[in-house]
């Protein structure tokens, strides 16, 4: 959020060992501003803006407040964790640097974290997602720390539990796993050698699993509406035609299945969707001519007709992207609620 006009704008943000720089765009050579972290405090979640979600606040020693909004919960938590670590390093006279996991943990070159993550998510042979209860809260679509280590050992991905702990910490640091609940999040925020816990009371989840926590928790876990509980299977920007003025605007789309919904957002980063398309029983096809009757093969148009016979016209950037979206929506419409 700008300090002069209090308007929200997307910025390229860089975390340094002693401060935060922000740029108008990634390619800029000089920053628009810099926030010193020495003596600063961080507040997350920040509730100063009502419906605006995923906001955190940095207050400097001069009592200047700086507000940032992430695109989603996991992104906010990742920034908060690293900024807190940077502040702790400054207080302790240490040098903070967010090194890559492979260098900092000495991960073997033969380990492919991306491939391992896909194996862990396999519906038949992967880690089973459960609904776990702790401290009068129900954590949905998650699993315990010891289950992760058990799976790595039984799958012969590691030789022993100590090596499994190293790999699990790598997956956590690179964002393939996310902490859920106070115990696992405290371990991530601390300075322990292994941020991952081989513990049945430490909960974790996959970032695109549809995780949610019922009842309010200490770190603002949100009770999501039924339509937001589905697993995210695809997201990206498309052009959407308005129903009234028939004008075209770029929107960010997030596709979820079970329940099957396609939510669309302002790409500038608004937290609430502008609308939702219920996909159960819908029909989606490519469009070869637009409303004016002109051929539009090069325009990559496609149409969604809902079960209530509402028509949505969308435009992809390429024929390949259009095909990918059509196939993904067709799958969600058949399998989702």
Q: pLDDT tens digits, residue range 285-301? A: 998 755 454 444 457 89
- The Cα–Cα gap between 26 and 238 comes to 22
Banded pLDDT at 214 (limits 50, 70, 90): low
Quick one: CA dihedral 64, 48, 265, 249, positive or negative?
A: negative
* Domain 113-213: assigned CATH number: 1.10.10.10
Q: Which spans in 111-258 are helix H?
A: 113-120, 145-154, 161-173, 182-189
The answer, yes or no, to whether residue 227 has pLDDT greater than 80, is no
Question: Taking 70 as the threshold, does the pLDDT of residue 276 lie above it?
Answer: yes
* Secondary structure E strands in 16-115: 19-23, 33-36, 41-43, 55-59, 65-69
What confidence score (pLDDT) does residue 226 get? 66
In the chain, domain spans: 12-92, 113-213, 221-335
Same fold, 12-92 and 113-213: no
Q: Residue count of the chain, please give it.
A: 337
Phi/psi-derived region of residue 192, left when phi > 0, alpha when psi is between -120 and 50, beta in every other case: beta
Q: What integer pLDDT is reported at residue 182 of this predicted model?
A: 85
| pTM listed for this prediction | 0.43
pLDDT tens string 80-92: 888 988 898 888 8
| pLDDT exceeds 50 at position 7 | yes
pLDDT above 80 for 329: yes
Of 213-217, 240-244, 249-253, the least confident:
213-217
Fold of 221-335: PH-domain like (2.30.29)
Place of tokens 């696992």: 184
CATH topology of domain 12-92: PH-domain like (2.30.29)
**According to the model, what pLDDT value does residue 307 have?**
87
CA dist 163 to 97, 128, 149, 170, Å? 24, 21, 9, 11
Q: How large is the average pLDDT for residues 243-253?
A: 86
16 vs 104, higher pLDDT? 16
| Confidence at residue 192, expressed as pLDDT on a 0 to 100 scale | 56
- Distances, alpha carbon 24 to alpha carbons 11, 21, 31, 68, 83, in Å: 5, 10, 7, 14, 20
pLDDT band at 270 (very low <50, low <70, confident <90, very high): low
Q: Which two tokens stand for residue 197?
A: 């816990």
């Amino acid at each position: 959020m700008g300090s002069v006009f209090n308007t929200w704008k997307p910025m390229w943000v860089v975390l340094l060992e002693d401060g935060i720089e922000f740029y108008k765009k990634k390619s800029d050579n000089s920053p628009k501003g810099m926030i010193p972290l020495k003596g600063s405090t961080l507040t997350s979640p920040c509730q100063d803006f009502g419906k605006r979600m995923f906001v955190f606040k940095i207050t400097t020693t001069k009592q200047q407040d700086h507000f940032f909004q992430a695109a989603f919960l996991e992104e906010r938590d990742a920034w908060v964790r690293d900024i807190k670590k940077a502040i702790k390093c400054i207080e302790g006279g240490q040098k903070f640097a967010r090194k890559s996991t492979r260098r900092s943990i000495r991960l073997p070159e033969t380990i492919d974290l991306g491939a391992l993550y896909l194996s862990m998510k396999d519906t038949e042979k992967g880690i089973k997602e459960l609904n776990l209860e702790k401290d009068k809260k129900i954590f949905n679509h998650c699993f315990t720390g010891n289950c992760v280590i058990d799976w790595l050992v039984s799958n012969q991905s590691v030789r022993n539990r100590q090596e499994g702990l190293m790999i699990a910490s790598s997956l956590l640091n690179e964002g393939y796993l996310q902490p859920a609940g106070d115990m696992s999040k405290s371990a991530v925020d601390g300075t322990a050698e292994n941020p991952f816990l081989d513990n049945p009371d430490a909960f974790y989840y996959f970032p695109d699993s549809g995780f949610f926590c019922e009842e309010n928790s200490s770190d603002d876990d949100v009770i999501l509406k039924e339509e937001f509980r589905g697993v995210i299977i695809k997201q990206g920007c498309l052009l959407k035609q308005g129903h009234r003025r028939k004008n075209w605007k770029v929107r960010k789309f997030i596709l979820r299945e079970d329940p099957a919904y396609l939510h669309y957002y302002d790409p500038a980063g608004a937290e609430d969707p502008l609308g939702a398309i219920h996909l159960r029983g819908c029909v989606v096809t490519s469009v070869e001519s637009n409303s004016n009757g002109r051929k539009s093969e090069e325009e990559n148009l496609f149409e969604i007709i809902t079960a209530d016979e509402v028509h949505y016209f969308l435009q992809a950037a390429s024929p390949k992207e259009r095909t990918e979206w059509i196939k993904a929506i067709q799958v969600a419409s058949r399998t989702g609620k």
